[in-house]
Amino acid sequence: MIYLDHASATPVSDKVLRAMTPFMTDDFFNPSSAYLPAVRVRDAYENAKNSIANSIGAKGNDLVITSGATEANALAMTVVSKNGKILVLETEHASILENVKKYKFDIIKVDKNGLINLDDLKSKLSDEVELVSVSLANNELGTIQPLAEISRILKESRLDRLKRGITTQLLLHSDSSQGLALLELNIARLGVDLMTLNSAKICGPKGVGALYVGHDVRLTPLTSGGGQERGLRAGTENVAGVIGFATAIEAIRGHSSAARKKYTALVSILKKELEKAKIAPIFLGNAKHQLANFLPVSFPGLDAERLVFKLEEQEVYVSTGAACSASKGEPSHVLRAIGLTDTEIAGSLRLSLGVLNDEENVQQAGKIIRKVVDDEVRRIYG
């Protein structure tokens, strides 16, 4: 098997699994119980939250643990008042674009590489806007957004509002799920008020996420119950999942630079192989503003879904874009937003590298993909 879809899911590491196991067996206690074994579990849970929070320059009490990025994104939206408005990037993940429909919202445009159009952002920052949501790194293109610059623009807008006697909140939220593995995140440097994290993207367990909530940010719970997570997320805590999340975070801390160097080299190998194909590939995005492990590519005139199935026969696993979009059978809104034609969208693959890749299997993958592409070219064009 050669797996080139790490943007969709990652395998739980052995270290993470070992750390989680005791909290599913011997230390199974409910952390809200009063007896000593449960108190120890509570301590382990809180320590794990602190570890996750520290990785982004926050404290454990600043985090709300969720079932994943989708729930965290939905919770972040509740900061908006009844009369407030949200601005979102047109290339955002479906968990943003679907949840934002519950509110008044507007769309921020992107350029041909998927980078935010800052002038469009500025033009749409009306006084009723209370939240701007921009992912740190796009889940289909890997495009890294200039969050610090966006934060600076929002700060200027806040100051302008205050001069005019307007005290409406203006907050910045970022779904940073894709960037967590390869970028060093710091809430102060990025200037975010809310940040979504996802364990499943960094070789941690699925079904565990977190939302960083800045001081003085007021959210509305999505569920009611026992008052866990500062009353913002009711339900017995997923202790094993949070332990696994923290362990996965610790495993990648301090290794971002080395990981970027590794994936840059592997992507270069893969790219060189694909460039030998009979149909000229179009590499999407701009490598200067892209996660190092992403290689989104289009083979215009071919059917990407057919390529995926043909590659599966060779045990090479890739996707046609975000798994959640592909499962609906709908054209990618991300690729549409950057101006690709229907033909280019139809022939687009998302290749994303990770822990299961090395020089040998990436080289082999490139040759297999090139052969499948060439076979399709012969089949269609003779």
CATH number at residue 351: 3.90.1150.10
Q: What is the pLDDT of residues 197-230, one digit of tens each?
A: 999 999 999 999 999 999 999 999 888 888 888 8
The DSSP secondary-structure symbol of 9 reads: -
String of DSSP letters for 184-206: ---HHHHT-SEEEEEGGGTTS-T
Q: Do 220 and 361 reside in the same domain of the chain?
A: no
CA distance linking residue 319 with residue 348, whole number of Å: 9
Strands 85-89 and 63-66 come out as unpaired
Amino acid at position 287, single letter: A
pTM of the model: 0.94
What is the span of the domain harbouring residue 263? Answer: 2-10+256-381
Which pair of tokens denotes residue 376? 């399709």
Q: Do 220 and 153 reside in the same domain of the chain?
A: yes
Q: Do 180 and 324 reside in the same domain of the chain?
A: no
Q: Do 164 and 211 reside in the same domain of the chain?
A: yes
Whether 161 contacts 183, CB under 8 Å:
no
Whether 96 contacts 112, CB under 8 Å:
no
CA distance linking residue 196 with residue 202, whole number of Å: 14
Q: Do 181 and 313 reside in the same domain of the chain?
A: no
Which residues does 77 contact at the CB level (< 8 Å), separation at least 6? 86, 99, 100, 102, 103, 131, 133
Q: Do 201 and 268 reside in the same domain of the chain?
A: no
Task: Assign residue 268 a region (left: φ > 0; alpha: ψ between -120 and 50; beta: otherwise).
Answer: alpha
Per-residue tens of pLDDT for the chain, all 382 residues: 999 999 999 999 999 999 999 999 999 999 999 999 999 999 999 999 999 999 999 999 999 999 999 999 999 999 999 999 999 999 999 999 999 999 999 999 999 999 999 999 999 999 999 999 999 999 999 999 999 999 999 999 999 999 999 999 999 999 999 999 999 999 999 999 999 999 999 999 999 999 999 999 999 988 888 888 887 898 999 999 999 999 999 999 989 999 999 999 999 999 999 999 999 999 999 999 999 999 999 999 999 999 999 999 999 999 996 444 545 567 899 999 999 999 999 999 999 999 999 999 999 999 999 999 999 999 998 7
Given the residues 324, 355, 356, 377, the one annotated as active site: 324
Q: Do 285 and 367 reside in the same domain of the chain?
A: yes
Phi, psi (degrees; rounded to nearest 5) at 196: -95, 135
CA distance linking residue 147 with residue 167, whole number of Å: 23
Q: Do 243 and 285 reside in the same domain of the chain?
A: no
| Nearest of 293, 290, 381, 284 to residue 341 by alpha carbon | 284
Q: Do 270 and 346 reside in the same domain of the chain?
A: yes
pLDDT of residue 315: 97
In DSSP terms, 197 is beta-bridged to: 210
Phi, psi (degrees; rounded to nearest 5) at 192: -95, 150
CA distance linking residue 256 with residue 234, whole number of Å: 34
Number of domains in the chain: 2
Q: Which of 252, 279, 307 represents a domain boundary (last residue)?
A: 252
The label of the residue with tokens 């997570």 reads 229
Q: Specify the DSSP element, H or E, that contains 312.
A: helix 304-313
Q: What is the pLDDT of residues 240-274, one digit of tens each?
A: 999 999 999 999 998 999 999 999 999 999 999 99
Query: Is 324 designated active site?
Result: yes
CA distance linking residue 280 with residue 274, whole number of Å: 8
Q: Which of 191, 218, 252 represents a domain boundary (last residue)?
A: 252
Whether 317 contacts 311, CB under 8 Å:
yes
Q: Do 232 and 159 reside in the same domain of the chain?
A: yes
Q: Do 201 and 269 reside in the same domain of the chain?
A: no
pLDDT of residue 321: 66
Which residues does 257 contact at the CB level (< 8 Å), separation at least 6? none
Q: Do 149 and 175 reside in the same domain of the chain?
A: yes
pLDDT of residue 1: 95
Whether 358 contacts 326, CB under 8 Å:
no
**CATH code of the domain containing 127:** 3.40.640.10
Q: Which of 252, 273, 296 represents a domain boundary (last residue)?
A: 252
Which residues does 246 contact at the CB level (< 8 Å), separation at least 6? 19, 47, 48, 49, 51, 52
CA distance linking residue 310 with residue 126, whole number of Å: 49
**How many other C-beta atoms are found inside a 10 Å radius of the C-beta of residue 378?**
10
